Every structure is written in C-alpha cells, then in structure tokens.
A = this chain, B = another copy of it.
Amino acid sequence: MGRPSEAKEKLLQVAFDLIWNQSYGSVSVDHICARARVNKGSFYHFFPSKSDLAVAAYEEHWREKQPELDKIFSPQIPPLERLERWCRHICNRQKQKAEKYGHVCGCPYASLGTELATQDEKIRVKAQELMDRNIRYVESALTDAKRQGLVSIDNPQAGARRVYSSVLGLLLQAKVRNELELLQDLEPMVMNTIGARELAA
C-alpha cells in the first residue's frame, strides 16, 4: 500500500560507498542525498539520523555480500583452500576499488568502526558484529583444518582472531600507504599465522 519507492535502497547503497571511500565524518547527509537523487525530507522519512543510516547501510551491504562468503567458505572446499580463496577475494576487491577510486580503501568495517568506536555506540556495535561474522568463517575453516591436521594451531577461535588481526592490519597499512602491492603478502602471511603445513607447490 502507498507509494512505491527505491529511495531507501538507493540511500543505503550510496551511503555505504561514500563512507567506505571517504569517511563517515567527511560525508554529509546532503552529499548522500545528492548522489542518491533523493530529497532530504525523504532521507529523514526513512532514517531517523545519519548514524542510523550508516548502521543500516552496513547491515544491508553485509546482507548482499554474505552469499559470496558462504560460497568461498563452503564446507565442500578443503579448509586451507577456503582461506586461500578468501585472501584472493579480498585482494580482488581491493584492487577493483583502488582502480575505481584511485586509492586503496581498506576494510570498510574496520574503517567505520575505528573512526566511530569511541563516539557512537550503535555504530561500534554494528562494526563489531560484522567483524565477528567474518571471523566465524575463518574459525570454521580452522576447525576443519585442525581436525585434518593441516595446521599447527590448538585453538581455532583464538587462531581465527589472529588471522583476522593480521588481515585487518595489512589492509590498514595498504590503505595508509596507498600501496596495493602490500596485499601480495596477504595469503602467505595468513598461512604463516596458522602454521599451515606446506601444501602443493
């Protein structure tokens, strides 16, 4: 019932893109509205505040991207290969963004989270959730890898957190240095973190 509209979806998508490429603080509601071709009144019809939009935009982005991750981390695939595919996926995504925008953008969850963790509790919690969901994929791969004796870690949960730390940190450095090349070490670094036994050459 009522009047149909794509404004909400458009706002979510534009907001995620702008905030990822720039920052929460430097993207205004007016910018988002202009880019989405939506009036400000409509913005506040759909979202109570800029902060609420950001939370919704990041959740929506996850919703859209989750199937890809499910595929990458499919239990059908050998566990170390899942991680390998994950690393490649991250590299591709960063490369694509960097080519489009002229700079390495890093992890969107980490960027938003670290900018606002001490300022906006709702955003902090959402960033935490999203990062936790990512870690869970890694953890399940590590659990399987351990069961198969492919890996020298004893605690998959702690191991997953370490893997995620090193990935986040490398993405952060790649962003700050604006050097995509750093990501060439992504996969070897991850494998080193978990003490992966040497595999096929």
Task: List chain A positions with a Cβ less than 8 A from chain B.
Answer: 21-26, 101, 103-106, 110-111, 113-119, 124, 127-128, 131, 158, 161-162, 164-170, 172-173, 175-178, 182, 185, 189, 192-193, 195
Contacts and interface: CB of A to CB of B under 8 A. Distances in A.
A131 B23 CA distance: 20
Nearest to A109: B176
A25 B23 CA distance: 9
A166 B192 CA distance: 12
Most chain-B CB neighbours within 10 Å: which of A103, A115, A161? A115
Name which of A105, A169, A170, A173 has the most chain B CB atoms within 10 A of its CB. A169
Most buried by B among A117, A119, A124: A117
Contacts of A166: 162, 165-166, 169, 193
Given A114-B111, A193-B166, A161 B185 contact: yes
Nearest to A126: B176
Contacts of A164: 169, 173
Nearest to A152: B192
Contacts of A128: 176-177
A189 B165 CA distance: 10
A118 B101 contact: yes
A178 B116 CA distance: 12
Contacts of A103: 117-118
